[in-house]
């Protein structure tokens, strides 16, 4: 649906060339929630902004539904933008206009008739659950409410694509969760393709199907969220995951000298089975659980256990083989 090929973006500042995007290749599928994560300055915003050409790539190709959008003239570009909603970290509502007028704004731009606008805005207010704030000005809304108005406004023209640039970064965790749930619902209801940018793994975990990890203008890793969570390949993705798995950092491995510590990763259904009890019964060994955690991903759940096995060496080895057969990832993290 959106394909980005060999896209580069250079900024030139006092003779210094800066590569904000460095050979980006990306295929975003219809109806998926695609996440882009990276540290500040990685080029995430620059990337997402090329999709509606708020930022012009220096070179490369961007196709949306088979059309090369970099060839669009001004009028075609305006047409494209009506089909792509966008929300921002700072909400960007018009302060001089009420909630109703803000949501009606993109419709009024097209001079649609009054009755239709009234009806459509009411529908949207319903969708984001803000009926009672219809005539309020943005300055009287909370951050979460402002973002909901922004979402309604972005959806007014029935777009196929929604771009979210750090849409939850200025919200508290609880509000973030609510907004993400709303986005997830809306995506299903309206068959949207969502491209979402964030620096928080929690957000990716919560709603994304696939994720790209960016660093220095490059995509250094790209896979399904489950795969990245269970098998991160780069240091950057590992550190993002560890940041979100705070529990695992609590155990101090140095306190466990001369003991073998393993990390078990359960993906999908198996994460809900009583695997540990089974091991204890079957192999007659002790399992000491040092730490545990289940990540509920958008499409899967991934359980992580940090354990040590105590007992007969042979029994332990048998248990380890059984674990591997069960499709549980086993990794020795301390010897």
Under the rule (CB under 6 A), what is the footprint of ligand ATP?
11, 13, 18, 20, 38, 40-46, 199
The CA–CA distances, whole Å, from 113 to 78, 108, 118, 319 equal 20, 8, 9, 70
Could you identify the residue written with the tokens 């050979």? 23
- Distance CA(84)–CA(283), nearest Å, equals 57
The correct pick among 33, 80, 130, 285 for binding another protein (CB under 8 A) is 80
Identify residues 46-65 at the interface with Mg ion (CB under 5 A): none
For the chain, what is the largest distance between any 2 Cα atoms, rounded to a whole number of angstroms? 79
Q: Which of 102, 116, 54 is nearest to 81 (CA)?
A: 54
Taking CB under 8 A as the rule, which mask of x and - marks residues 117-146 in contact with another protein? --------------------xxx-------
Q: Which helix (H) or strand (E) holds 225?
A: helix 225-230
Identify which range of 64-72, 77-85, 175-183, 299-307 contacts another protein by CB under 8 A.
77-85
Identify whether the C-beta of residue 217 lies closer than 8 Å to the C-beta of residue 22. Answer: yes
286 contact, one of another protein, Mg ion, ligand ATP, none, CB 5-8 Å limit per kind: none
For ligand ATP, the nearest residue by Cβ is 45
Taking CB under 8 A as the rule, which mask of x and - marks residues 2-41 in contact with another protein? ----------------------------------------
Judged by beta carbon, residue 105 or residue 322, the one nearer another protein is 105
Asked if 45 touches Mg ion (CB under 5 A), the answer is yes
Residues contacting residue 213 through CB under 8 Å, at least 6 positions apart:
36, 37, 38, 219, 220, 221, 222, 228, 234, 236, 237, 240
Query: Terminal CA-to-CA distance of the chain, rounded, Å?
Result: 47
Query: Nearest approach, Cβ of 225 to ligand ATP (angstroms)?
Result: 19
The correct pick among 9, 44, 81, 148 for binding another protein (CB under 8 A) is 81
Identify residues 96-115 at the interface with another protein (CB under 8 A): 96-97, 105-106, 108-109
Query: Nearest approach, Cβ of 218 to ligand ATP (angstroms)?
Result: 12
62 contact, one of Mg ion, ligand ATP, another protein, none, CB 5-8 Å limit per kind: none
Judged by beta carbon, residue 43 or residue 159, the one nearer ligand ATP is 43
The DSSP bridge pattern shows strands 16-28 and 67-68 to be unpaired
Phi and psi at 121, nearest 5°, equal -65, -40
Strand blocks (E) in the chain: 2-13, 16-28, 33-38, 59-64, 67-68, 84-88, 161-165, 193-198, 210-215, 218-224, 261-267, 286-296, 301-310, 329-334
Query: Nearest approach, Cβ of 144 to Mg ion (angstroms)?
Result: 20
Query: In whole angstroms, how large is the CA radius of gyration of the chain?
Result: 24
Query: Nearest approach, Cβ of 44 to Mg ion (angstroms)?
Result: 5
80 contact, one of Mg ion, ligand ATP, another protein, none, CB 5-8 Å limit per kind: another protein
**Interface ranges with another protein (CB under 8 A):** 52, 54, 77-82, 84, 86, 88, 90, 92-97, 105-106, 108-109, 137-139, 150, 153, 157, 163
């Amino acid at each position: 649906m959106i394909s980005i090929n060999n896209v580069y973006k250079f900024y030139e500042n006092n003779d210094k060339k800066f590569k904000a995007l460095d050979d980006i290749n990306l295929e975003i599928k219809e109806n998926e929630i695609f996440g882009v994560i990276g540290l500040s300055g990685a080029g995430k915003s620059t990337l997402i902004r090329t999709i509606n050409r708020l930022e012009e790539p220096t070179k490369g190709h961007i196709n949306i539904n088979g059309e090369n959008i970099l060839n669009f003239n001004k009028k075609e570009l305006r047409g494209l933008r009506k089909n792509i909603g966008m929300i921002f970290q700072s909400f960007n509502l018009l302060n001089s206009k009420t909630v109703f007028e803000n949501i009606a704004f993109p419709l009024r731009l097209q001079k649609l008739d009054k009755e239709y606008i009234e009806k459509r805005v009411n529908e949207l207010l319903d969708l984001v659950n803000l009926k009672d704030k219809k005539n309020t000005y943005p300055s009287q809304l909370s951050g979460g409410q402002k973002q909901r108005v922004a979402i309604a406004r972005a959806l007014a023209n029935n777009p196929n694509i929604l771009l979210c640039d750090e849409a939850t970064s200025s919200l508290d965790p609880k509000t973030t969760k609510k907004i993400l749930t709303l986005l997830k619902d809306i995506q299903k209801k309206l068959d949207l393709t969502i491209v979402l940018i964030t620096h928080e793994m929690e957000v990716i975990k919560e709603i994304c199907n696939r994720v790209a990890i960016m660093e220095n203008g490059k995509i250094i890793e790209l896979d399904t969220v489950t795969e990245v969570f269970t098998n991160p390949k780069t240091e950057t993705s590992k550190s993002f995951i560890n940041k979100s798995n705070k529990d695992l950092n609590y155990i101090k491995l140095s306190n466990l000298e001369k003991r073998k510590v393993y990390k078990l990763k359960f993906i999908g259904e198996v994460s809900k089975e009583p695997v540990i009890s089974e091991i204890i019964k079957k192999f007659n060994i002790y399992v000491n659980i040092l730490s545990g955690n289940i990540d509920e991903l958008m499409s899967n759940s991934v359980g992580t256990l940090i354990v040590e096995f105590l007992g007969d060496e042979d029994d332990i080895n048998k248990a380890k083989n059984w674990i591997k057969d069960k499709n549980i990832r086993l990794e020795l993290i301390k010897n």
